[in-house]
Amino acid sequence: MHDHADLVKIYAILLLIVMVATVISPNFRTPQNIFNVLRQAVALGVVSIGQTMVILTGGIDLSVGSTISLVAVYASGLMAGQPGLGVILQVVLLTLGGALLVGLINAFVITRLKVVPFITTLSVASIVQGLVLLYAKAPKGSISPGFNYFAEGMVGPVPFPVIFLALLVIITFVILTKTVLGRYIIATGGSEVIARLSGIRTKPIILFAYMFCSFTAGVSALFLISRMGIGDPQVGGLNFDRFDLDSIAAVLIGGTRLGGGKGSVMGTVAGILIISVLNNIFNLAEVSSFYQWIVKGFIILGAVMVYTIQKQGKDI
């Protein structure tokens, strides 16, 4: 699924970037900033885990940013500052259900209507973002009292969101490496035709991957409103972090092959941390967000070029 040597290289790059960061800015290595980097990594980390599943099947999901905005504004709008665990649970279940519906639509169009994932998820992203802006053109609602624990809570000396992300990574790692479902996901990405000829029902596998990805986007949105206290219709990517772009970058940096069939969640973790550390360095150095987008664009382009070169080498 992923060579150990590849993982070592990826984590070596992460270590090198961290070392450079400590030289560039002494503030980087302060405990407060390290915790800040980890907290910032959670929102991207959760959705990148879902993106890993999709890319491993040979697909891609460009609708995660819009899904994040969808869940963020509706969850915040429905909570409207109302107290009570019951309110929180109802809103969480309802909005995550909406996120799952987005994944279901993506998978249906891809597997039943045979539209390629890029076009499908880009179109769905546009539709979802339009629905978001119809509901709220400006930040809307407010979170229920106590919901900020998701982003700000501590379990001993460790931030709760970091523990949550670690548990999600472990669960995904087990699914991909220890279960039949994981083997089927890798097989589907390696060659969907061969997987079908081997008796694997690839459509349910692809359905699971896209619904899991949308679910993680929804969870990421809940974390964001927990941190911000309000739902912003543009939080998924219009004027904020581009979660679609960043999640794809994290997965590709982590060594998951763009065409699917090879990769690992542990590689994605390294990619998440690399993106988060780079973002932190840029912010500490007060680098414009425009330059940050340029750098991320080159990172994705580089990862795609590496995949293309490797594929051409195998075809020779």
| Span 272-312, pLDDT tens digits | 999 999 888 888 888 787 787 788 778 778 777 776 676 66
Enclosing H/E stretch for 17: helix 4-24
d(CA 280, CA 65): 20
Q: Are 304 and 249 in contact (CB under 8 A)?
A: no
Which pLDDT score is estimated for 301?
A: 81
Over 80: is that where the pLDDT of 248 sits?
yes
The angle formed by the CA atoms of residues 165, 168 and 169, to the nearest 5 degrees, is 85
Q: Are 54 and 213 in contact (CB under 8 A)?
A: yes
What's the rounded mean pLDDT across residues 184-207? 96
Which pLDDT score is estimated for 29?
A: 85
Strands 158-159 and 154-155, how do they pair? antiparallel
All residues at 6 or more sequence positions from 30 whose CB lies less than 8 Å from its CB, including other chains: none
Residue-wise pLDDT tens digits, 59-117 = 999 999 999 999 999 999 999 999 999 999 999 999 999 999 999 999 999 999 999 99
Q: Are 160 and 149 in contact (CB under 8 A)?
A: yes
Which pLDDT score is estimated for 1?
A: 57
Which pLDDT score is estimated for 312?
A: 64
d(CA 75, CA 114): 32
Enclosing H/E stretch for 126: helix 117-135
Which pLDDT score is estimated for 289?
A: 76
Residue-wise pLDDT tens digits, 209-233 = 999 999 999 999 999 999 999 999 9
The 10 Å CB-count burial string (b at 16+, else e) for 290-313 is eebeeebeebbeebeeebeeeeee
Q: How confident is the model at residue 245 (pLDDT cuts 50, 70, 90)?
A: confident
Which pLDDT score is estimated for 2?
A: 58
Q: Name the amino acid, one letter, at 217.
A: A
What's the rounded mean pLDDT across residues 33-39? 87
- In three-state secondary structure terms, 83 is coil
**Could you give the count of Cα atoms lying within 13 Å of 97 in the half-sphere of its Cβ?**
6
Residue-wise pLDDT tens digits, 124-152 = 999 999 999 999 999 999 999 999 999 99
| Start-to-end Cα distance in the chain | 22
Helix axes 160-178, 180-190, angle to 10 degrees: 70
- In three-state secondary structure terms, 136 is coil
Which pLDDT score is estimated for 36?
A: 85
Strand partners, 231: 140
What tokens were used for 230? 């309000």
- Residue identified by tokens 């931030």 is 159
What tokens were used for 221? 């949105």
Residue-wise pLDDT tens digits, 9-25 = 889 989 998 998 888 88
Q: Give 234-265 as a DSSP string.
A: TTTTTSS--HHHHHHHHHHHTT--TTSS---H
Cα separation values, 1 from 5, 42, 173, 205, 209, Å: 12, 25, 11, 17, 17
Calculate the CA 173 to chain-centre distance. Answer: 15
All residues at 6 or more sequence positions from 90 whose CB lies less than 8 Å from its CB, including other chains: 78
Length of the chain, please?
316
Please state the φ and ψ torsions of residue 235, each to the nearest 5 degrees.
-65, -25
